[in-house]
């Protein structure tokens, strides 16, 4: 197969999740990858203290390792509001001071005309322990995890259709270009909600849900050749549609899924090529879309949101020289992951984070003997220049005095 990379990323605004009418955003909009810090509530601070981690980013990495695939769907299981908003437990596992109200009052002021980014920021700030979502992949190879499942990029799925790279694409979509790894940053840890359905094919019953935001649609467009069987390259679209919704009281879903805002996610893989029984290898294109999104996020929103006035590639080149001086491999070697994390923080304008990363990983900077010699040479040259300049100025003043008298 001759790979042709995806050529474009386009974003659209829609008044409803399933409508076909849409308006294209300007390049680099909307600003959903601004990298704003998430608020730390007393509950989240206690959760981090209980697990001996510095912040909720590290807490999410623990959840990523320990909770992937866990089920919370029974009447005696932890309620959804405690799963998504978090609560401290006593030594018997009972919640201590659970949230009094299910969700914040802001949700009752949102509707389908509220901008997606406004609602999305509210959601990711409020539901930091488990992000409530409903993910459905449509098309030839449909996919939707069981209701009540804790979802990460390691969720069980088909290898041939590329479930893991598809989930990595979703992780970067929701968390931005600095989405984490096993060592740094936040990981996507979500909770699969139940949506009301109808008919034998389990179609989504839109009359039983309330949309509390407009829809954001992200489309990855490209062309590809499959085994050189077609006469010309065929178009391909990978589309992700995002809308915040709430199940109505009469929706027919289980009680634990009512009155809980969640992010409805529909992903489609649309290939217009005609190859008979030959199936398009989706796993390759999920990876292409993932890397294309990263380039898009770094190339445009990062520059707009963090005040970057030059191309990111130039910034990386500049910071590489700085990193070579700051990171002393002879004293405390840094791993490639730590080095890349430092560069990425510099690239995104998070200077304080990058400085803390270096401070936590290496001792204070001490110049090498070569740098010391260069420094001493420069000092001697500077002293000589100052001395010469001072003598010259003194001679001039004497000549001027003699001329005056």
Strands in 37-85 per DSSP E = none
Q: How many Cβ atoms from other residues are within 10 Å of residue 289's Cβ?
A: 29
- Decide: 35 and 306 in contact? Cβ < 8 Å: yes
Residue 403: the pLDDT is 38
What pTM was computed for the model? 0.71
CA dihedral 353, 355, 361, 363 (to 10 degrees): -160
- Decide: 245 and 211 in contact? Cβ < 8 Å: yes
- Decide: 288 and 6 in contact? Cβ < 8 Å: yes
Top-confidence residue, 93 or 161: 161
C-alpha span between 298 and 285 (Å, rounded): 20
pLDDT-derived band at 301 (thresholds 50, 70, 90) equals very low
Reported as a single tens digit per residue, the pLDDT across 391-405 is 555 455 444 433 333
Top-confidence residue, 36 or 346: 36
pLDDT-derived band at 225 (thresholds 50, 70, 90) equals low
**DSSP, res 238:** E
- Decide: 123 and 263 in contact? Cβ < 8 Å: yes
**DSSP, res 194:** P
pLDDT-derived band at 43 (thresholds 50, 70, 90) equals confident
Q: Considering the chain, what percentage of its residues have pLDDT values greater than 70?
A: 60
C-alpha span between 351 and 331 (Å, rounded): 23
Take residue 46 and report the two structure tokens written for it.
Answer: 């206690």
Take residue 161 and report the two structure tokens written for it.
Answer: 């259709």
Take residue 181 and report the two structure tokens written for it.
Answer: 């790894």
Q: At what angle do helices 282-299 and 163-175 cross, to 10 degrees?
A: 20
C-alpha span between 173 and 160 (Å, rounded): 22
- Decide: 334 and 327 in contact? Cβ < 8 Å: yes
Q: CA–CA distance from 23 to each of 13, 16, 132, 323, 326 (Å)? A: 5, 12, 27, 43, 46
C-alpha span between 122 and 119 (Å, rounded): 5
Reported as a single tens digit per residue, the pLDDT across 169-178 is 898 888 876 6
DSSP assignments along 52-63, one per residue: T-SSHHHHHHHH
Residue 176: the pLDDT is 74
Neighbouring residues of 288: CB distance < 8 A, sequence distance ≥ 6: 3, 5, 6, 220, 222
Q: 60: burial class by Cβ within 10 Å (0-12, 13-18, 19+)?
A: buried
Q: Where in the chain are the domains?
A: 6-305, 312-361
Integer-rounded Cα Rg, in Å, for the chain is: 28
pLDDT tops 90 at residue 232: no
Residue 97: the pLDDT is 61
pLDDT-derived band at 19 (thresholds 50, 70, 90) equals very high
Q: Please report the sign of the dihedral spanned by the C-alpha atoms of residue 47, residue 48, residue 51, residue 56.
A: positive
Peptide bond into 31 cis (omega under 30): no
Residue 179: the pLDDT is 73
């Amino acid at each position: 197969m001759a790979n042709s990379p995806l050529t474009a990323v386009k974003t659209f605004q829609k008044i409803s999740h399933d409508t076909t009418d849409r308006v294209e955003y300007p390049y680099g909009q909307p600003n959903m990858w601004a990298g704003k810090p998430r608020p730390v509530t007393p509950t989240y601070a206690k959760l981090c203290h209980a697990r001996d981690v510095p912040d909720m980013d590290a807490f999410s990495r623990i959840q990523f390792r320990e909770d992937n695939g866990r089920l919370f769907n029974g009447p005696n299981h932890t309620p959804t509001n405690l799963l998504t908003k978090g609560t401290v437990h006593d030594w018997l596992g009972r919640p201590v001071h659970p949230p009094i109200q299910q969700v914040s009052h802001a949700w009752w002021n949102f509707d389908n005309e509220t901008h997606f980014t406004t609602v999305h920021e509210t959601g990711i700030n409020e539901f930091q322990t488990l992000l409530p979502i409903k993910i459905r992949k449509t098309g030839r190879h449909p996919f939707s995890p069981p209701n009540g499942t804790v979802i990460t990029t390691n969720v069980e799925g088909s290898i041939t259709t590329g479930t893991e790279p598809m989930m990595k694409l979703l992780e970067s979509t929701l968390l931005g270009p600095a989405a984490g790894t096993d060592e740094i940053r936040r990981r996507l840890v979500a909770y699969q909600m139940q949506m009301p359905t109808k008919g034998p094919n389990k179609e989504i019953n839109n009359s039983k849900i309330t949309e509390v935001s407009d829809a954001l649609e992200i489309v990855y467009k490209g062309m590809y050749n499959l085994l050189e069987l077609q006469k010309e390259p065929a178009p391909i679209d990978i589309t992700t549609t995002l809308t915040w919704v709430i199940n109505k009281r009469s929706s027919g879903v289980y009680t634990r899924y009512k009155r809980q805002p969640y992010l409805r996610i529909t992903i489609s893989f649309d290939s217009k090529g005609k190859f008979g029984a030959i199936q398009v290898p989706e796993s390759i294109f999920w990876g292409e879309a993932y890397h294309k999104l990263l380039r898009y996020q770094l190339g445009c929103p990062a520059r707009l949101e963090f005040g970057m006035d030059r191309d990111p590639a130039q910034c990386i080149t500049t910071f590489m020289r700085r990193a070579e001086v700051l990171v002393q491999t002879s004293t405390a070697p840094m791993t490639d992951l730590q080095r890349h994390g430092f560069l990425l923080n510099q690239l995104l304008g998070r200077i304080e984070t990058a400085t803390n990363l270096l401070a936590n990983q290496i001792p204070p900077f001490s110049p090498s003997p070569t740098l010391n010699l260069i420094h001493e040479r420069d000092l001697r040259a500077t002293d000589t220049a100052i001395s010469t300049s001072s003598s010259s100025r003194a001679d001039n003043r004497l000549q001027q005095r003699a001329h005056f008298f």
